[in-house]
Amino acid sequence: MNTPYALLDRRNGLTRTVQPEGFVFHQGDTVAALYVVRCGIVRIGRLIDDGDEVTLSIARGGECFGALEVLLGLKVRHCFAQASVESIVQPFFRRDLSERDLADLARHAMAATYRSQICLAEMLPRNPARRLAILIGHLAAKGRIIRLSQGELGQAIGCPTETVTRALGQFEKAGAVSVGRRAIEVTKPETFAL
């Protein structure tokens, strides 16, 4: 698991069920807590000036999100968190975190930032199909089933849904993935290795 162990083990306390496309928090909300995904998938994104959305990261069961804003002491959220599927999240309020929790979170946040930077560095100079392949490889490292819509994948790589659909069709024809309605099964992970 990528979650700081101290928080992962702390299962007692308040949880919240968020329906698909429901928000855990909105951009501009007050920063009060970080969250652990107990089950489901949460997309962290940012609204940009022209009204478009950019996907910054994906948090799955056992992973946390919103930690950087807490660690940095920010007052206002600079991004939003939206469930991709029905998800259960557990908040951890800043006032309840020990020094050990904060140290674990800092290590976790640095590791996640590093992985994201590597993924981004690999994707940026590539064509859309290759960017999608790199993203699938990154997501498949956490599990062979990717429960994101083609639109969400498109937002993550900065491409229209039609481009994602075409590329997934090529991957499926090659036997590398099996595409369902809201899930993609990676059948040949080696195809997407960096």
CATH of the domain at 187: 1.10.10.10
Co-location of 115 and 34 in the same domain: yes
Tokens describing residue 50: 């022209």
Among 66, 100, 120, give the residue marking a domain's end. 120
Of residues 55 and 21, more confidence is placed in 21
Three-point CA angle 111, 90, 184, nearest 5° = 65
Q: Does residue 104 sit in the same domain as residue 145?
A: no
The helix-helix angle for 161-173 and 150-157 (nearest 10°) equals 110
* Same domain for 111 and 35: yes
Domain residues for the domain of 51 are 5-120
Q: Are residues 171 and 113 in the same domain?
A: no
Task: Answer with the one of 75, 101, 120 that is the final residue of a domain.
Answer: 120
Number of domains in the chain: 2
pTM of the model: 0.66
Q: Is 35 left (phi over 0), alpha (psi -120 to 50) or beta?
A: beta
Q: Is residue 20 exposed (0-12), middle (13-18) or buried (19+ Cβ within 10 Å)?
A: middle
Q: Please write the tens of the pLDDT for every residue from 180-190.
A: 877 888 888 88
Report the chain's mean pLDDT, rounded to a whole number: 83
Domain end, chosen from 87, 120, 153, is at: 120
Same-domain status, 173 and 110: no
